[in-house]
A and B are shown apart, each in its own frame.
Chain A
Amino acid sequence: MLKYVLRRALYSIPVLILASMLIFVLVREFGTDPARARCGVSRDKQCIPRVEKELGLDQALPVQYVDYMTEFVQGHWGDSQRTGQSVDDSIRRALWDTTQLAFWAVLLSGGIAVAIGVYSASKPYSPGDYAFTGLAFAGLALPTFWLGLIMIQYFTYELQRWTGSADVIFRSIPFAEGPQNATQYFQELALPVFVLSVQLIAGWSRYQRSSMLEELNSDYIRTARAKGLPRRRVIWKHGLRNSLSALVTVMAIDVGALFGGLIITERVFSRPGMGTLLLSALQNGDTNILLPWMLVTGMFIIVFNLIADVMYGVLDPRVRVA
């Protein structure tokens, strides 16, 4: 087991390095040119070459990469060009804010997706199964940003109008001074968590259904039923236990997709976090934030991929041998 984990971990190191190179090329070569952003519409012909020299952009890309990464791994991430705050502080704070949203969304989506998947697989092609399939199709086609706005319209404003209460029940923006108690925490997180969960539930429940279906059709399930174990026990204990390994892997991998959903959700609900940090950096031409942001996010995704591999090995011993 340890050998398996180590082998997987070792494998992610070259991936990490190559990914950082790819990110570097994408941001530096295909993203907005920092020198042009800084000089703006300045008529000064010397502006661009001067800034390029100042930022080291006149050097060859590989040299820039090595220079940048040497600083980066030592923790010198520079300061934001707009606010002057240190980038690693901003990212750390944003990560914490984002984690709150992501944690509840993953927990909720995971639970609901498993329940739907198990139900659909144990009663395939029943009306309930068809209904959930339809909902999953709808969920995957719903644009997250639009769903967010619609939820705000109906569950923040219309609901308030309807109940006639003085204050909104579900907040469309977080409390200015942060949530003071559990109720407020729920009020401001309910809608964003729901919006973020819709696509996750749609994707994961389909996945859980097919892997559960595969398990329920296998021989050991038939054996368990034949020896007289109650159906409920066979489904929840034998079938679920074995089908979960597939879902857990997908869940860990989907962290990458989660970052996409988070950018939109944070933007729609005006929440602080990684998404808001990225969007404001792009809007303000704050190029210092982009590279660290991408590198940290890429690192997270690779680490979660590694976790997925390890979990898969833990849950399914057959994988370890090969």
Chain B
Amino acid sequence: MTSQHPGSRPGDRLTRQERMRESAAGGLAAAGSSGLLDTSIESDDALAIGEPVRSQWRLVLRRFLRHKLAVISMVILLLLGTMAVFASVISPYEFNPTLDAATLKEARQPPSWEHLAGTDKLGRDQFTRVLYALQKSLVVGLGVAFISVVIGVIVGSLAGYYGGWVDQAMMRFTDLVLVLPALAVLLILASNPDPTFFGLFDLPPATEVNGMIVVISILAWMPMARIVRGEYLSLREKEYVEAAVAAGAPARRIILRHLLPNTIGAIVVFGTLAVGLAIITEATLSFLGAGIQLPDVSLGNLISDAESTVGTDLAYLILFPGLMLFLVVLCVNFVGDGLRDALDPRAVK
């Protein structure tokens, strides 16, 4: 949806821009295989004599901690995550209270200490509703990141390791999916009330969190596949992989022991950014009416529910869920940026 992942153009050779894009993530390959262990590349991390040897992940952590914005974002995310998980403990209100006279009396209150984000037309506490919606957003974000990473890694691994026609077929298919107008496809898939897999078995509808995760994942794995493939192509040329092949190691071992672990940096960075993208996508779909439906709350349908308040004094009802959405995605992106710096010290910024 954003130009973060501008689609690819079908082409049988890498254009410069693709090379740039792949090298941006691609330096990670080297970082994994040698960069992270070869501490001499960054003078800061160079081992002084007598200093204890640091493990690879220690170094990554150190570099991450140096990115202040990423660390602050991480803290905010953990805080918000905890608040969302323990929403029922933190908030004295329910997100869908029985609409009795006592609740209705509280209607249309502007933000105050009792109601941090005010109350809606029916007297429901908006802050509580946002926390519950955030739960859903985070689950969708993490779920999509997980599934799209798994699909992307499988497709990218097969294409990158086997090459030849397997590579051709898989990458052409990936390009094809990238050509589709993503949001339109998502809307069409998400508005199907009873989706099936070619009539063989039922899929969860997108009005449920599970269905939402499936739908968004279908259009989220392609960049991962391209990145993993790109990494494998360069890793395959490395001597230790050649040695493993020469020693007769089976494909499974080479992929799982040699190629995949050295791609972990790129995978982690993509996975993080995918969380943010998925959260925005879910909110957008729910806003457009194709996702999670009221009375279940999501950050998207909270905003569309309050859309009629735009231009009135009740507009704080859209302000708060949107700010939450913005804050979460911004923090996720900063963390992704920090991880990129930490895992790939040589990446061009």
A-side residues, CB < 8 A to B, are 8, 11-12, 15, 18-19, 22-23, 26-27, 29-33, 36, 137-138, 140-146, 149-150, 152-153, 156-157, 172, 199-200, 202-204, 207, 210-211, 213-214, 245-246, 249-250, 253-254, 256-257, 259-261, 263-264, 267, 278-279, 282-283, 290, 293-294, 297-298, 301-302, 305-306, 308-309, 312, 316, 319, 322
Contact = CB atoms under 8 A, between A and B. Distances in A.
B188 interface: yes
Contact of A11 (B1, B10, B326): B10
B179 A278 contact: no
Given A199-B2, A253-B9, A294-B188, A259 B183 contact: yes
Nearest to A31: B188
A259 B349 CA distance: 28
A22 B195 contact: no
Contacts of A149: 303, 307, 310, 318, 322
Given A30-B195, A141-B276, A278-B187, A254 B310 contact: no
Nearest to B203: A30
A22 B333 CA distance: 32
B322 A260 contact: no
Contacts of B232: none
Nearest to A263: B183
Given A146-B325, A283-B289, 17 more contacts: A27-B188, A31-B189, A31-B192, A140-B4, A149-B322, A150-B318, A153-B310, A199-B3, A203-B3, A246-B16, A246-B17, A250-B3, A256-B7, A267-B288, A298-B180, A298-B181, A309-B15
Nearest to A199: B2
A249 B15 contact: yes
Contacts of B183: 259-260, 263-264
Nearest to B186: A260
B46 interface: no
Contacts of B325: 143, 146
Contacts of A256: 7, 178-182
Contacts of B50: none
A141 B330 CA distance: 5
Interface in B273-290: 276, 280, 283-284, 287-290
Give the most central of A141, A156, A302: most B CB within 10 Å.
A141
A243 B113 CA distance: 53
Contacts of A31: 188-189, 191-192
A282 B319 contact: no
A279 B284 CA distance: 13
Give the most central of B176, B181, B322: most A CB within 10 Å.
B181
A11 B195 contact: no
Interface of B: 1-4, 6-13, 15-17, 20, 172, 175-185, 187-189, 191-195, 198, 276, 280, 283-284, 287-290, 300, 303, 307, 310-311, 315, 318-319, 321-322, 325-326, 329-330, 333-334, 337, 348-349
Contacts of A141: 276, 280, 326, 329-330, 333
A-B residue pairs, 7 tightest by C-beta: A203-B3, A260-B183, A146-B322, A305-B9, A141-B330, A157-B311, A141-B329
Contacts of B288: 145, 263-264, 267, 279
A137 B330 contact: yes
B334 A137 contact: yes
Given A31-B188, A143-B280, A200 B3 contact: yes
A47 B347 CA distance: 60
Contacts of A283: 289
A261 B4 CA distance: 13
B6 A254 contact: yes
Given A29-B198, A140-B4, A150 B182 contact: no
21 contacts: A19-B180, A22-B177, A27-B188, A30-B192, A32-B192, A143-B280, A143-B287, A146-B325, A200-B3, A204-B3, A207-B3, A213-B348, A256-B178, A257-B182, A279-B289, A293-B184, A294-B188, A302-B179, A305-B179, A308-B9, A312-B16
A37 B334 CA distance: 44
B1 A150 contact: no
A196 to B, nearest CB: 12
A316 B195 CA distance: 46
A3 to B, nearest CB: 15
The prevalent SS among residues of A at the interface is helix
Given A19-B179, A256-B182, A210 B348 contact: yes
A15 B10 CA distance: 8
Contacts of B179: 15, 19, 256, 298, 301-302, 305
A294 B9 contact: no
B311 A152 contact: yes
Contact of B7 (A137, A264, A297, A301): A301
B6 to A, nearest CB: 5
B17 A249 contact: yes
A56 B326 CA distance: 46
A90 B93 CA distance: 48
Contacts of A200: 3
A192 B6 CA distance: 22
B193 A32 contact: yes
A19 B189 CA distance: 17
A216 to B, nearest CB: 13
Nearest to A296: B181
Contacts of A246: 16-17, 20
Give the most central of B10, B16, B289, B300: most A CB within 10 Å.
B10
A180 B322 CA distance: 35
A263 B13 CA distance: 32
Contacts of A312: 15-17
Contact of B287 (A145, A245, A302): A145
Contacts of A279: 187, 288-289
A155 to B, nearest CB: 11
A18 B175 CA distance: 11
Given A199-B3, A282-B188, A36 B11 contact: no
A86 to B, nearest CB: 21
